[in-house]
Structures are given as C-alpha cells and as structure tokens.
C-alpha cells in the first residue's frame, strides 16, 4: 500500500529532539538529511549556531552525515561546503538513485542509515523505498517554495487518510 510508504518510523517536531543514543543502539552509523525546512529555513543561506552545535555533536558521536536535497547546486553547495559536509543537489527524491549515491559516499549500508526530512512525498517515501530508518520532522519555516506547497497539499490528504485508518500515532506540532 503506497500510503504506508509515506509513514516515517519516527516523527519529531525538530532535529534537536532526535535521540542520538537511540539511533546508535539501532546500529545507525550514517545520516542522510534533507536541507531546506529540515536543517534550516528554505530561504536562510547559512547554518544557525544551534545547527552548528548539533552537527558537531553528530560528528563527536561518530555519525557520518550527507545532505541530499532536491534544490539546486549553488544553494546546497553554499550551505554544505563551508561545513565540510558532502552533499547531493538536484537529488530528484524520492528517486532511489540519489539515496544509493549517498550510501556509497558514506560507505554505510541501508540498515545503518537514517533519512531525516520534512516531506513525506520526497524524504520519507524515498528513504522507505530503500528500507532506511526514516524520521519526519516538522518544517522549520512556515513558508515554502512553489513545488513544496503542492507537495504539502498532497501530504495533508495522505495524513488525513492515514489518520482515519489509525496508522498515525503522533500529533502534529
């Protein structure tokens, strides 16, 4: 059932609520993360001090991190390169190709990777299609780009159906 492929393994309101020790206990070694409205607002160019601290904590805990974004190369590189984070731009999520490429770059197998993102139709569906552990976060901005607005409308319909079937166990923030 396609709807179930949209369900994350975990929902949190922010990346800062992710229990890194719990991920380690699950055997997670690699983190694939979306950029826009997951790590920072889609229209913010640079990492916030809080995000810099979180990324430092990931490294200290031994996690390998890669940014996989559907956004363009200039946007993604200007964020990731100064931080020394590998990235894939124009990823075409939920396409499998970018996820396979990210796994190869990280050198980590699918059962050791978590996909973190704010969109069910791109991040969660893409991660679930490869059997990754998936975490859905609330978007950090109240506004979206054009295509994301379309996706969010479709997601609202999917969420309503999933809720009606009793498949959603969280409350949206």
pTM: 0.85
User: What confidence tens digit (pLDDT) does each residue in 60-88 have?
Assistant: 999 999 999 999 999 999 999 999 999 99
Q: Which helix (H) or strand (E) holds 32?
A: strand 30-33
What is the C-alpha to C-alpha distance for residues 129 and 124, in angstroms, rounded to an integer? 8
Structure tokens at 158: 């999917």
Q: What is the pLDDT of residue 52?
A: 96
Q: What is the pLDDT of residue 3?
A: 73
DSSP letters, 57-77, are HHHHTT-EEEEE-SS-HHHHH
Q: What is the pLDDT of residue 173?
A: 41
Select 8-115+131-141's CATH number: 3.40.50.720, 3.90.1150.10, 3.90.960.10, 3.40.50.1000. Answer: 3.40.50.1000
Q: What is the pLDDT of residue 136?
A: 93
Domain boundaries, the chain: 8-115+131-141
- The residues of the chain scoring below 50 in pLDDT are 173
């Amino acid at each position: 059932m396609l709807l179930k492929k949209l369900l994350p393994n975990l929902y949190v309101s922010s990346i800062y609520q992710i229990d890194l020790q719990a991920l380690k206990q699950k055997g997670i070694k690699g983190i694939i993360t979306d950029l826009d409205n997951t790590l920072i607002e889609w229209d913010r160019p640079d990492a916030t001090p809080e995000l810099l601290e979180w990324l430092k904590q990931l490294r200290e805990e031994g996690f390998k991190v890669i940014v996989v974004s559907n956004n363009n190369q200039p946007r993604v590189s200007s964020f990731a390169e100064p931080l020394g984070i590998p990235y894939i731009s124009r990823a075409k999520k939920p396409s499998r190709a970018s996820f396979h490429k990210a796994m190869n770059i990280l050198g980590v197998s699918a059962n050791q990777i978590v996909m973190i993102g704010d969109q069910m139709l791109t991040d969660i569906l893409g991660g679930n299609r490869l059997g990754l552990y998936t975490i859905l976060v609330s978007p950090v901005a109240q506004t979206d780009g054009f295509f994301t607005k379309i996706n969010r409308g479709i997601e609202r319909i999917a969420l309503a159906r999933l809720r009606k079937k009793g498949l959603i166990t969280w409350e949206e923030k």
